[in-house]
Amino acid sequence: MKYISTRGGADPVDFVTACLSGLAPDGGLYVPEAWPQIPPARPGEPYVDLATRIFAAFAGDAMPAADLKHICETAYASFSHQGVAPLVQLSPGEWMMELHHGPTLAFKDVAMQFIGRFYDHVLGERGLQMTVMCATSGDTGGAAAAAFAGSPHVTLIILHPDGRVSPVQRRFMTSTGAANIHNFAIDGDFDSCQAIVKALFADKEFASDVALSGVNSINWARIAAQTVYYAFAQASLGPDVPLRFIVPSGNMGDVLAGYVAGRCGLLAEFDAVSAVNLNQTLADLTTRGHMRRTPAAATPSPAMDISVPSNFERLLFDLVDRDAGAVRQFYNSYAQSGEAQLPDAAFKALQALSFDAEPVDNDATLNDMRRILAETGWLICPHTAVGTAISTKMETEKPRIVLATAHAAKFPETVLDATGRDAPLPERCAALAERGEQFERVEASEVAVRSRVRALLAP
């Protein structure tokens, strides 16, 4: 199994190299050279066994299946629910997949707990050290901090937008107390953080000097790990039952994993709606084929306050029949002018998919948090509410599955404002508020971040 870049300027690599690299050296994203066909999940198949099978298919001969199983066993042992991603029924024909049973109460844990152990295993075998850099809109940073805290092989640098994550989200990033975890509060939005990370990857001398890697959803391991819960949900509701997934989405990694699951034969069919907030770039792409640079708007669902959905590049690569030149042209146009139009054939291919994106405004988000509480007695996070607000309007005979991306306790201020209810942390996370925080404010510039990273890593 080889991995190629969406921009066509990098040599094919194996699974381990693709995952350790994060971003391809030509600035593209790694994807499998061909989609592996993976036997669907069996009803009742344990999550760890399913994850091992899927990772083994993506890894090919790059890694022994026994090593992958050990990594999966240790990764998912940290979850509070043995099912890892259990389904609960919201209403007739409507389900919620709870993805917040990991150590930082967000779906990012599902991939990041695997990645942390994967990096330690591979780097330990090879006697290597790496610098992992991560831009976060809220949850990725906390999940990465929990996964890499205390790692003898990884120094983790987290960039988060100052003042634009919830206090609980920030504490998961900043209170590990681990000497190998460093947090930069950037004076900007998530897109500013992401742009800095991409620019530092493009600086070949710097990236080589610090052995740079990344664990945003640009990292293929993130996508591979998230395909597992789509396959798990399919088996839970019937291997041959067509399902519709409603996926709260910002950077598009989560819904892209559903697309990959469909291409690999893990779903009866791929049918998904990406639920977005006021940051509607993905909705504009699916309805008009147009992407335009805009400042990210602040909303009650801050982890989705992203105006450039990075993983659309992987989907576009397929939409243009894997023509890397067409992908380069689209993103070069966007980089130069701040906007780009999909080629006609690519837009028609996108419209032919059972995939679209629908926006939800702030009032509708808060209203749906109240509705779910009234109808079920459950508190949900504002990101999940963006999904349930879309789901409740749908008319379909297919079972609908809303991905519950985070625990309500990660956003207690918003939950209180919407419902009048407190959302306390689960007992297993109760000590979070008592731990000291460590982070520093850094200017939103490539130069400033590069300088601070070099200073931190200096002998």
Question: Can you tell me the distance from the alpha carbon of 458 to that of 389, in angstroms, rounded to the nearest whole number?
Answer: 49
Mean pLDDT of 228-256: 95
Q: Residue 159, SS3?
A: strand
Exposed e or buried b per residue across 334-356, where buried means at least 16 C-beta atoms within 10 angstroms of its C-beta: beeeeebebbeebbebbeebebe
Res 190: pLDDT:
87
Residue 49: per-residue pLDDT? 98
| Cα first-last separation, the chain | 38
Element (H, E) at 130: strand 130-135
Confidence at residue 404, expressed as pLDDT on a 0 to 100 scale: 97
Give the residue from 146, 152, 153, 154 showing the smallest Cα distance to 177: 146
Mean of the per-residue pLDDT values for the chain?
A: 95
As a whole-number percent, the residues of the chain with pLDDT over 90 amount to 88
The DSSP bridge partners found for residue 340 are 291
User: 61 is written with which tokens?
Assistant: 């001969």
Count Cα atoms within 13 angstroms, Cβ side, for 351: 12
pLDDT digits (tens, 9 = 90+) for 389-438: 999 999 888 999 999 999 999 999 999 999 999 999 999 998 888 899 99
Q: Does residue 322 carry a pLDDT above 90?
A: yes
Place of tokens 């070099």: 454
E strand or H helix at 87:
strand 87-91
Beta bridge partners of 272: 245, 355
C-beta pairs of 252-255 under 8 Å, 24+ apart in sequence = 252/217, 252/282, 252/309, 252/310, 252/311, 252/312, 252/315, 253/216, 253/217, 253/222, 253/223, 253/226, 253/310, 253/311, 254/107, 254/217, 254/226, 254/403, 254/405, 255/355
Tens-digit pLDDT profile for residues 245-255: 999 988 899 99
Instruction: Provide mean pLDDT across the span 38-49.
Output: 96
**3-class SS at 397?**
coil
pLDDT, tens only, 119-159: 999 999 999 999 999 999 888 999 999 999 999 999 999 99
Maximal CA-CA distance, the chain: 62
Question: Per-residue pLDDT averaged across 227-241, rounded?
Answer: 97
Is 441:161 a contact under the CB 8 Å cutoff? no
User: Tens of pLDDT along 80-131?
Assistant: 999 999 999 999 999 999 999 999 999 999 999 999 999 999 999 999 999 9
- CA 396 vs. chain centroid, Å, equals 27
Q: Is the pLDDT of residue 459 over 80?
A: no
Residue type (1 letter), 440: E
Instruction: Report whether 91 contacts 114 (CB < 8 A).
Output: no
- What is the tens place of the pLDDT at every residue in 163-222? 888 899 999 999 999 999 999 999 988 889 989 998 998 898 999 999 999 888 889 999
* pLDDT value at residue 317: 98
Integer Cα distance of 111 and 230 in angstroms: 13
Strands (E), 150-303: 154-161, 181-186, 212-214, 244-248, 272-276, 290-292
Q: What is the pTM of this model?
A: 0.94
What is the separation of C-alpha 246 from the centre of its chain, rounded to a whole number of angstroms?
A: 15
Which two structure tokens, joined as six digits, stand for 69? 């199983």
Residue corresponding to tokens 């899927």: 54
Give me the active site residues, please. 108
Q: Rounded to an integer, what distance in angstroms lies between the CA atom of residue 56 and that of residue 166? A: 36
Please give the Cα distance from 413 to 423 (Å, whole number). 8
Half-sphere exposure of 447 (CA within 13 A, CB side): 0
pLDDT tens digit string along 251-284?
Answer: 899 999 999 999 999 999 999 999 999 999 999 9
